Amino acid sequence: MMDMALIPNVDPINIGLGSSEKGNVVPAAKPRKKTMTSVYHVYFETAPDGKTRRCKFCGQNYSIATATGSLGRHFSNRHPGYDKSGEAVTSSAPQPTATVIKRPQPQGKAPQVDYDHLNWLLIKWLILATLPPSTLEEKWLANSFKFLNPSIQLWPGEKYKAIFREVFKSMKEDVRVSLEQVSSKVSVTLGFWTSYEQMFYMSITCQWIDENWSFQKVFLDICRVNYPCTSSEIYNSMVKVLKMYNVDYKMYNVEYKVLSCTHDIGQNAVHACHTLKEDLGGQKVGPFCYIPCAACTLSLIIDDALRTAKPVIAKVREFVQELNTSLDISEGFIQLTTAY
């Protein structure tokens, strides 16, 4: 006989053979639907109203009924590597478990992370990407670092700003040393813009042609022009930047090497350059000219030429929009153009 101990335990099933009475048939119990649990839910927090879920890393909101597939795509695109630290998704069907005894392994030393080196890499990233230091204060970025390594420590924002100032100061010193070697005249270009806080800024760039007839360009500074941004304010800010480089050697000062200045066509910039010309002319430094920006001048010429045509263009645009929104008008216009 077969040894019954070798057969696994099987639950008895009543299949009701040979019975025609309905009362003898025992209906099988309908399996209760088990709630699915997902590793994605670990990284989402449910809102107090119970209608939305919010990602703990970036703050993205999703409906409470959002499928786990959408949550998975969110993590794959925004936070890759999430599945390496979470638990596997449990299935609704029970699975047999096997106990595996692992031998204890000697624990080696955890790899040491040089956090200062990491912070310097972040500074390099901010400089190359031209991002402000406040970027590192974003909560989603800090949470992403904590997700990769909970022990990561970032420098405070003030330290980043202090390092940026030191780096900029060092770069200005390199520019000053390079300008000392320039024996020819240089040209200065001014750029103006207004920030979102309605603050007026001016950038100064220096260009020249070296002994090998190669075009060279260096960025001097960005300075804030005080309100009300008059021509005198622009002139004082410009002269301050020019004198900043190589002040100890006045005969080689950038201010006395300036041949021309290119600027936009604003009246305040024109008056500031005219004042600089008078200043250099009074010191008998040599010829100096200020050149309005050709792009700005061309833009004004085009705007002036299109001033009479703009009303006609506006009416044509309005008529085309009506054709696109009304099928009757469009068909009537087609019939009219076909007939005539």
User: Mind listing the pLDDT tens digit for each residue in 252-306?
Assistant: 355 567 778 888 778 888 888 888 888 877 666 667 787 777 887 888 888 888 8
The predicted structure's pLDDT at residue 248: 36
pLDDT (mean) for 15-35: 46
Threshold 0.95, pTM exceeds: no
User: Mind listing the pLDDT tens digit for each residue in 231-263?
Assistant: 899 989 888 888 887 533 343 355 567 778 888
pLDDT (mean) for 326-339: 86
The predicted structure's pLDDT at residue 89: 41
pLDDT (mean) for 214-219: 90
pLDDT band at 87 (very low <50, low <70, confident <90, very high): very low
pLDDT band at 82 (very low <50, low <70, confident <90, very high): low
Q: From CA 132, how far away is CA 118, in angstroms rounded?
A: 17
User: Mind listing the pLDDT tens digit for each residue in 138-168?
Assistant: 888 888 888 888 888 888 888 888 888 888 8
Map out the domains of the chain with their CATH numbers.
39-84 (no CATH), 115-155 (no CATH), 183-299 (3.30.420.40), 310-339 (no CATH)
Encode 296-319: b = buried (16+ Cβ within 10 Å), e = exposed: eeeeeeeeeeeeeeeeeeeeeeee
Choice between 206 and 35, residue whose per-residue pLDDT is larger? 206
Its sign, for the CA torsion 66, 67, 68, 70, is: negative
Q: From CA 264, how far away is CA 228, in angstroms rounded?
A: 18
For residue 7, is pLDDT > 70? no
186-194 and 258-263 strand pairing: parallel
What pairs with residue 203 in β-bridges? 191, 222
pLDDT band at 1 (very low <50, low <70, confident <90, very high): very low
CA atoms within 13 A on the CB side of 258: 30
The predicted structure's pLDDT at residue 211: 87
* Percent residues over pLDDT 90 in the chain: 2
The predicted structure's pLDDT at residue 74: 77
